[in-house]
A and B are shown apart, each in its own frame.
Chain A
């Protein structure tokens, strides 16, 4: 309860009359039209209540960081670097921090020149700065479908024309990319960059295969196209062999031990250390880097020296690899807990990805279920409706993103159970409406009526291994309506 008790006498502030609101409207930049709020986001606001189990966030679990280490490092920064910590820093970032970045990237087998690194305020700022540097209104960005929901408002704000390419179990299909590029070329258009999250994609949970990575780099080189490689989770791999970054593949293609000249690499400390630090980075070809630097000067001059020095102190301490190892063990177990819960509660009603790392599972429901509606129907649990991962805000309606990393095991189980129960109710009703299931079939497990996969005889466990991302045509009205927006078909 807040209590603004402002008596009338004390100098009234003039409130704009309603007719003046039209004047504001005239003042707003055209780009604000691309900055939409959505029903879905309104609804997400509801899930901020404490009693709600949220599988919606993009959060790592920061409770795993040792408090005594945090305290020690902070006091160390405070004592040893008071003036530096409290001062502005260089726009490109502090050398000690850049050194940590070089170390992290080496861990993924990627060698970079410290002079080509810029420290940013979270990875998010890289997306913003890259758009700022490259995108004029109407310019084309090619992205995956689904794509990182947090990139969508940024692309929208720069009025980009985003063409999305559906991923499959091996990430973005490069032949699809090529035919998209051909078609764009026929229209006299050429994307400013290709945006991809090759590892444990957010939200899809899929990883681009090695062959596709090679092919993507080839295509980029053949056509002289920039690639924005967003890699927040590369070190959070729970199974399988690490794959080389696009940056390193392109650098190898350039040869002579040089740097990549077409890949802009985006990294972040958010998932391997802490999002609260707000520190990310970009590695980019020099001319691009210069523009990113100029853009950053206009945005925030520099990222926080306090947290940059914290990172430097943390890396000097030497335990950062062990901490990531601990995160891997924890998140890997939670992933398995979620996969198990999904088999139990979604089996026969949905298909979902089985990520080899990262934070997210992407589940696609059978039948005509719109997950935005499901969210309204799912009591006490939150997830990100699939629409959030599509530029048009309509595709992906029957999918959802689930975070397994930031939530304790029991909450994962209970959250998935609650969603499953709501799904069962909806699928049962759908079955009744379509005549594929008799009435009163809306029990917890009665929801597999009317579903595409249900009749195929696959067991839930087999289904769980199927990587199936939303396909148009078998879903509800929302998807069908947006079919015209797809450029690659």
Chain B
């Protein structure tokens, strides 16, 4: 399991298309939008905007709304820098749209976005590829309503055991994520998760250390993507790494590089690279993992194709630990904005 092998062919779309980021004079930073992560996205966007301006790009900031296409046409950017989190921004919607109107954009293409955003799909792919991920089951709302799936919940409880973590299949932040400690708590948790998506993921709870590995495409086209140092998020008080602490300074301590035995850190990076390739990411992505306390094993939780860029986000922290300053990071991400045809 070294980081050398390219498992999927999704990166072949790059071939020969690369154009250096410096040619991308005029950059539209897409931020905000109407997803539940709007506020975080505005902060990420503002950070990107400032850095790109300082780098000499002509920056146009666009709050993604009903006029997005019109505004993009008017702005005529050489590239779009996607700082949108959550639905529409991270799930391939905006990416597909940008391809239609012919504007190169940063990060993963529509299909990779879909694979990563849908945690259930990503987990199926990982399981098939032998990448360790927490045991899980998933249900669609329609299967409860039309196929009597409620009767199968007992089987889920038996096979995974309590506590269970219940998540909407597609919702970036911790919104809608709940613990169920007993059969009584499970229905409410499922209803909660299904408020955000029509599909719910029910996962075995992995108790352990919360790690994140960001992966960045190489500065030189054709070279292998690089895994940045491992970040560990240590919640201050909560047993559950909650939404609040994820975005607020002071609620969580971030350690980078994480204090891990060398082989564990390397293994986490390898897993992140494998996952990145498997899911067909490009430009940048952040892979979240757990180091399970009882077994000492690493498991992959999920992959974020538009990692946060705020003051407290993990990607800038990891880049910094690798000696990549924020502006360089922005420039590297911008490099992924090349004309392409999604697979």
Q: Given that A36-B248, A442-B145 are contacting pairs, would A12 and B195 also be in contact in the complex, using a CB cutoff of 8 Å?
A: no
**CB < 8 Å neighbour of A4 from B59, B243, B326:** B59
Residues of A within 8 A of B242 (CB): 39
* B window 298-326: CB within 8 A of A: 311-312, 316-317, 319-321, 325-326
CB nearest neighbor in B for A375: B195
Q: Given that A376-B176, A435-B150, A476-B192 are contacting pairs, would A429 and B145 also be in contact in the complex, using a CB cutoff of 8 Å?
A: yes
Residues of A within 8 A of B36 (CB): 42-43, 46, 376
Residues of B within 8 A of A374 (CB): 195
Residues of B within 8 A of A347 (CB): none
**CB < 8 Å neighbour of A7 from B56, B146, B244, B321:** B56
Whether the pair A430, B61 counts as a contact (CB closer than 8 A) is no
Complex interface: stretch among A98-106, A109-117, A129-137, A477-485: A477-485
* A window 30-65: CB within 8 A of B: 32-33, 36-39, 42-43, 45-46, 49
**CB < 8 Å neighbour of B60 from A1, A367, A478:** A1
- How many residue pairs, one in A and one in B, have C-beta atoms under 8 Å apart? 173
Whether the pair A18, B326 counts as a contact (CB closer than 8 A) is yes
Whether the pair A15, B327 counts as a contact (CB closer than 8 A) is yes
The reply to whether the CB of B187 lies closer than 8 angstroms to some CB of chain A is yes
The reply to whether the CB of B205 lies closer than 8 angstroms to some CB of chain A is no
Residues of A within 8 A of B319 (CB): 18
A415–B293 Cα distance when bound, in Å, is 47
Smallest CB separation, A368 vs chain B (Å): 3
Smallest CB separation, A103 vs chain B (Å): 43
* A window 430-482: CB within 8 A of B: 430, 432-435, 439-440, 442, 475-478, 480-481
The reply to whether the CB of B173 lies closer than 8 angstroms to some CB of chain A is yes
**CB < 8 Å neighbour of B61 from A1, A32, A369:** A1
> Interface readout for B178-199 with A: 1 if CB under 8 Å, 0 if not?
1111000111111111111000
Interface size class of A (residues with CB under 8 A): 35 or more
Whether the pair A439, B59 counts as a contact (CB closer than 8 A) is no
Whether the pair A39, B243 counts as a contact (CB closer than 8 A) is yes
Residues of B within 8 A of A429 (CB): 141, 144-145, 190-191, 194
Whether the pair A25, B146 counts as a contact (CB closer than 8 A) is no
Whether the pair A477, B173 counts as a contact (CB closer than 8 A) is no
> Interface readout for B39-81 with A: 1 if CB under 8 Å, 0 if not?
1100000000111011110111111000000010001000000
Whether the pair A368, B188 counts as a contact (CB closer than 8 A) is yes
The reply to whether the CB of A291 lies closer than 8 angstroms to some CB of chain B is no
The reply to whether the CB of A13 lies closer than 8 angstroms to some CB of chain B is yes
Whether the pair B150, A433 counts as a contact (CB closer than 8 A) is yes
The reply to whether the CB of A489 lies closer than 8 angstroms to some CB of chain B is no
**CB < 8 Å neighbour of B244 from A1, A37, A475:** A37
Whether the pair A477, B54 counts as a contact (CB closer than 8 A) is no
Q: Given that A4-B59, A38-B243, A376-B175 are contacting pairs, would A477 and B185 also be in contact in the complex, using a CB cutoff of 8 Å?
A: yes
Whether the pair A36, B251 counts as a contact (CB closer than 8 A) is yes
The reply to whether the CB of B153 lies closer than 8 angstroms to some CB of chain A is yes
The reply to whether the CB of B207 lies closer than 8 angstroms to some CB of chain A is no
> Interface readout for A421-433 with B: 1 if CB under 8 Å, 0 if not?
0000010011011
Residues of A within 8 A of B193 (CB): 373
Residues of A within 8 A of B56 (CB): 7-9
CB nearest neighbor in A for B313: A18
A18–B316 Cα distance when bound, in Å, is 6
The reply to whether the CB of B9 lies closer than 8 angstroms to some CB of chain A is no
CB nearest neighbor in B for A393: B244
Residues of A within 8 A of B186 (CB): 433
* A window 141-159: CB within 8 A of B: none
The reply to whether the CB of A19 lies closer than 8 angstroms to some CB of chain B is yes
Residues of A within 8 A of B312 (CB): 21
Whether the pair A376, B195 counts as a contact (CB closer than 8 A) is yes
Residues of B within 8 A of A426 (CB): 191, 195
The reply to whether the CB of A370 lies closer than 8 angstroms to some CB of chain B is yes
A439–B150 Cα distance when bound, in Å, is 9
The reply to whether the CB of A17 lies closer than 8 angstroms to some CB of chain B is yes
Whether the pair A24, B249 counts as a contact (CB closer than 8 A) is yes
CB nearest neighbor in A for B153: A433
Which residues from chain B sit less than 8 Å from chain A, CB to CB?
A: 34, 36-40, 49-51, 53-56, 58-63, 71, 75, 141, 144-146, 148, 150, 153, 173-176, 178-181, 185-196, 236, 242-244, 247-251, 253-254, 311-312, 316-317, 319-321, 325-327
A/B interface sample: 25 pairs, CB < 8 A: A1-B63, A6-B54, A8-B55, A9-B56, A18-B320, A18-B326, A19-B317, A21-B311, A28-B250, A32-B250, A33-B250, A39-B174, A43-B175, A46-B38, A368-B191, A369-B188, A370-B188, A370-B192, A373-B191, A376-B196, A426-B191, A426-B195, A429-B194, A433-B191, A434-B187
